[in-house]
Chain A
Amino acid sequence: MELLACHKVSKHFGGLKAVDEVDLSVAEGELVGLIGPNGAGKTTLFNLITSFINVTSGTIFYEGKDITRSPSHAIAAHGMVRTFQKINVFRELTVLDNVLIGHHLHIRSNYLQSLLQSRQKHREDIQMRNESLEILEKVGLGGWEDTLAKNLPLGLQRALGIAVGLAAHPRLLLLDEPASGMNTEETRYIMKVIRDIHEGGITILMVEHDMNVVMNLCERLVVLDFGRVVSRGTPEEVQNDPNVIEVYLGKGYKHAANH
């Protein structure tokens, strides 16, 4: 079943076509990579899909529903959750509080029950806490729960960003460069985390610069350049597509290769 479908989605900033008539679809259970050189429009496309910016034209469907004009928080409530390219955590709060906030959509007890010290609320608190600790364990943050987010090493802050997203119970998770700024060991770890998340039944669409990560993880790739899709297919297909080689190496590569 198709979870996400972008139909001729465009974003123009004045004369600049940052995203230009992009068609993209992600089916349930897939792990799709979105790649392309810097400035190709990958993050802009993420921002359009999650309504952080408005499309110039085109339509975006989630589970067949038109969500083009839905506010970002409503899109998350539908089950599509994104992470951010720059590190985005609640810096002044503890790691555990970060993940507890991530559960926002699924906490039933309201403030009134909190004021009345309802038992159901206390039970839910304990359950959320345990679930949060499990998620932290899963992304490699076990034992860090009482640390302030801003005091975490950068690689772990990125992992925390993913943990917060996971707490929202997404069906489709959009990861924006999850491995950027990580060293080899951290990258290897985050790859394992992403694979685990995917095997746990969550569909993933990810932007990533690290070709090693993308080629190893993704079943299918979409390549953007100057806001347009220039290639799509399995990692092998994309790697051998002359269009892609041209995008990354420039037009002269054939000429250069002959010398």
Chain B
Amino acid sequence: MKAKSIYIVSGLFLLALLFPLIARDPYYKHILNVAFLYAISVYGFNIISGLTGQLNFAHAGFIGIGAYTSAILTSTYGLPVGLAMIIAILVTGFFGLIIGFPALRTRGVYFSLTTLGFGVILFMIFENWIDLTGGPMGLTGIPSFRIPGIDINFGSKTAFYYLCLFFLVIAIYINRELFHSKLGRAMLAVHGNEDLAQSIGISIVRTKIIAFVMATMLLGLSGSLYAHYFHFISPVSFTIHETFHCLTMLVVGGMGTLAGPLIGSVIFTILPEFLRGLAQLQWIIYGVILILCIAFMPEGIVGFIKKKREKS
């Protein structure tokens, strides 16, 4: 890393640490909490779609698996939240494995269509398996995160902010190390050229499945945190609409880049809040901004900045 980027990163991190002290209004903390929850999931999206090049349209469905697993284990079965979170991550990853195995044997657009199907199936399960998921009414009374023996109320926006920041840093670190490791390079190879990747000994199916399991585990983490933050979940949070919202964050931020998912998530969490006052107009403006971004920065904000720098 160059000296300049170390300064930028440490500065941003310091700012992130001090943010709850600067912003007294709980509303601002809430917005960033939501942005960070999105960012964790978009870092998962980045692994399977940005690095490995396989568009996963069941994104929100997997977040849902994490959220429902965590919610059911804690509110219905009374498990400690920390344990439930770990199980939620593992269960989501396990679903990633069993869905990924058939889905990732197909290439390109067929993988996307298969996952689109799975996303719809998952939504149907959330909505119709009423005994387990509460159906359209959802699940309420999900407890807050808690560390045994330590008296911190993670129901508060400030405490949850630091919890979320902690997991976000882990998600970023997981992505960062991929760029410098054999595994991540294999993902980039599969993305770039499957024939060439195979010719030098990279197993396409194995690489894709590892990427998908890693990605879905991050989605499970994001979903679990979501459930314990809002204390309430219902199927409408895990629709295909949410998948596209996250895809927008990834694409506009910069697919396959390290900073892109965070930048995209923050922008597209704050933007709708700014536009909220405009009622119906907000989605039209949102759409126009999205089209402009794609038209003028097809490689996302990070890709755009990189290109500008290369030219100068």
Contacts and interface: CB of A to CB of B under 8 A. Distances in A.
Contact of B200 (A97, A109, A164): A164
Contacts of B203: 71, 73-74
B199 to A, nearest CB: 5
A205 to B, nearest CB: 14
A83 B198 CA distance: 11
Interface stretch (A12-20, A110-118, A237-245, A249-257): A110-118
Main DSSP-derived SS at the A contact region: helix
Interface in A81-130: 81-84, 88-93, 97, 100-102, 104-105, 107, 109-111, 114-115, 121, 125
A102 B173 CA distance: 25
A110 B184 CA distance: 10
B180 A114 contact: yes
Contacts of B182: 104, 107, 109-111, 114
Interface string A161-175: 100110110000000
Given A73-B201, A76-B198, A76-B199, A101 B186 contact: yes
A248 interface: no
B189 interface: yes
Contact of A90 (B174, B178, B192, B198): B192
Interface string A68-81: 00011110110001
Given A88-B193, A93-B188, A110-B182, A104 B199 contact: no
Interface residues of A, number: 37
A88 B195 contact: yes
Contacts of A100: 185
B186 A84 contact: no
Nearest to B196: A88
A203 interface: no
A46 to B, nearest CB: 10
A50 interface: yes
Question: Which residue among A77, A93, A104, A167 has the maximum number of chain B CB atoms within 10 Å of its CB?
Answer: A104
B273 interface: no
A73 B196 contact: no
B200 A76 contact: yes
B55 interface: no
Interface string B11-54: 00000000000000000000000000000000000000000000
B177 A164 contact: no
A167 B196 CA distance: 13
A168 B180 contact: no
A90 B200 contact: no
Contact of B201 (A84, A92, A105): A105
B183 interface: yes
Contacts of B186: 101, 104
A115 B177 contact: yes
Contacts of B181: 109-111, 114, 121
Contact of A81 (B174, B184, B193, B199): B199
B198 A84 contact: no
B204 interface: yes
Contacts of A110: 181-183
A164 B196 contact: yes
Contacts of A111: 177-178, 181-184
B141 to A, nearest CB: 36
B198 to A, nearest CB: 4
Contacts of A92: 192
Nearest to A111: B183
A115 B173 contact: yes
B174 to A, nearest CB: 7
Closest 7 CB pairs of A and B: A76-B201, A90-B192, A114-B181, A72-B198, A105-B201, A111-B183, A168-B200
Interface of B: 173-174, 177-178, 180-186, 188-189, 192-193, 195-204
14 contacts: A52-B198, A73-B204, A74-B201, A77-B201, A84-B195, A90-B188, A101-B186, A101-B188, A104-B185, A107-B182, A109-B182, A111-B178, A114-B177, A165-B200
Interface of A: 50, 52, 71-74, 76-77, 81-84, 88-93, 97, 100-102, 104-105, 107, 109-111, 114-115, 121, 125, 161, 164-165, 167-168
Given A88-B193, A110-B181, A111-B184, 4 more contacts: A73-B201, A76-B201, A83-B199, A161-B196
